[in-house]
Structure 1
Amino acid sequence: MASFSSIAVRELPLFPLPEVVLFPGRPLPLHIFEFRYRIMINTILNADRRFGVLMFDPNQGQVATVGCCAEILQYQRLPDDRIKMLTLGTLRFRVLETVREKPYLVGLVEWIEDEPTQQDLRPMATEVERLLRHVVHLSGKLMEQNVELPDDIPSLPTELSYWVASNLYGVATEQQTLLEMQNTVARLEREVEILTSTRNHLAARTALKDALD
């Protein structure tokens, strides 16, 4: 499938993280303690404060080639030169080639975006949010807790698709697939499938729990 990308290409410091997938608009707190990444962060802090986050799959021993650029919003230096910081996902990128590997990984990347569409995505986004609320309600009922969605859920379809994908836990490979999609419709459709399956599973567990109580 042809990719939709900008012509902007740049070198970007890269930070592979085990089973972590960052999405645009989503926060990522980090604790930097490894020497080479302390060097990287100190260099970035004197530049534009941006680096790329790539998912590392420990089972396959592979680093993804599509990731998300993180911008450092806040940081705190700790003893032994460790650094705690809060970052925010901005743009997605694809690694074109490795520029160097030491003292830390740097790649030549291109920014990627979703393909433009004339389709009205609001009905699908509404369905995703409806299913999400069902899942949260059933989860709370199963745990006997009052669980509610936050008030700041994005209303725009593309941003909503990133928000939902970032909140899927324990499925980094699925998250990576959603990150790599360059079609908002396809991403929302896949999230409808995931949320429908999750809702049905939780509904069955809730019904069984009610029957046994």
Structure 2
Amino acid sequence: MPSSSSLAVRELPLFPLPEVVLFPGRPLPLHIFEFRYRIMMNTILESDRRFGVLMWDPVERQPAKVGCCAEIVQYHRLPDDRMKMLTLGQQRFRVLEYVREKPYLVGLVEWIEDSTPQEDLRPLASDVEQLLRDVVRLSAKLMDRDLELPEDIPDLPTELSYWVASNLYGVPKEQQDLLEMLDTLSRLQREAEILTSTRNHLAARTVLKDALDETDFEKPGF
């Protein structure tokens, strides 16, 4: 039975990818070389240019049930029929059932969206953005590099929650959990926890680095 967050149901070509979680509004460059996916993309390019991206679960050996629809915004066909393309995340979906597996996976999906917030999320979103800036500042200090956040960080809480989630590198399972959440508040709260932990870890490393640098500076020369 479709959930209360369901907006519509449709068949959607599906593209499982290992350790890749796409979020609404976020870009995903792809290199299409497998024959079955070349067939899929050629078919999609003749219709609405949309397909579903699902993270492949190596433990369960199957795709996740919740993914994000991608729209092809640019593509370049190579001489051997491989394709390079840029896609953009659209709305999220949940797979209800698989309707075809050959030559590529097709599922019956329902669109899902976050529930309407019952409180003003802007203060929490502002806290999350500040935590992100702290993480970038401390990372830059540790690496002795100039690092800055891009200027186009989303202002709206939901879009910001997707942006932050998409930039959590190396934790695809955590990203998948964030993708599956159905309210912005929970997603932002979890991101605040992750960023706070990261900030505290980086701050401790920065203190240690400063102490070691000071010790090296005070050593007598030979």
TM-score range, shorter chain: over 0.9
Moved over 4 A (4+): none
Cα distance in 1 for residues equivalent to 2:195 and 2:173: 16
Q: What is the letter of the counterpart of residue 147 of structure 1?
A: L
Match of residue 168 from structure 2: 168
Provide the alpha-carbon RMSD of the alignment: 1.0
Contact 1:4 1:114 in 2 (8 A): no
Cα distance in 2 for residues equivalent to 1:206 and 1:3: 47
Cα distance in 2 for residues equivalent to 1:95 and 1:26: 21
Cα distance in 2 for residues equivalent to 1:155 and 1:42: 36
Could you tell me how far 1:181 is from its partner in structure 2?
Answer: 0.1
Describe the SS at the equivalent of 1:47: coil
TM-score, with length taken from structure 2: 0.94
Could you tell me how far 1:62 is from its partner in structure 2?
Answer: 2.5
**Percent identical residues:** 79
Match of residue 199 from structure 1: 199
Q: What is the letter of the counterpart of residue 29 of structure 2?
A: P
Q: How does 1:84-163 map to 2 (within 5 A)?
A: 84-163=84-163
Q: What is the letter of the counterpart of residue 102 of structure 1?
A: K
Q: Residue 133 and residue 3 in structure 1: after superposition, are their counterparts in 2 closer, same or farther (change >3 A)? A: farther
Which sections of structure 1, spanning at least 5 residues, go unmatched?
none
TM-score, with length taken from structure 1: 0.98
Could you tell me how far 1:12 is from its partner in structure 2?
Answer: 0.1
Q: How many equivalent pairs are there?
A: 212
Contact 2:7 2:112 in 1 (8 A): no
Match of residue 15 from structure 2: 15
Describe the SS at the equivalent of 2:13: strand
Cα distance in 1 for residues equivalent to 2:207 and 2:181: 35
Cα distance in 2 for residues equivalent to 1:97 and 1:3: 14
Structure (1 or 2) with the larger CA radius of gyration: 2
Cα distance in 2 for residues equivalent to 1:111 and 1:166: 19
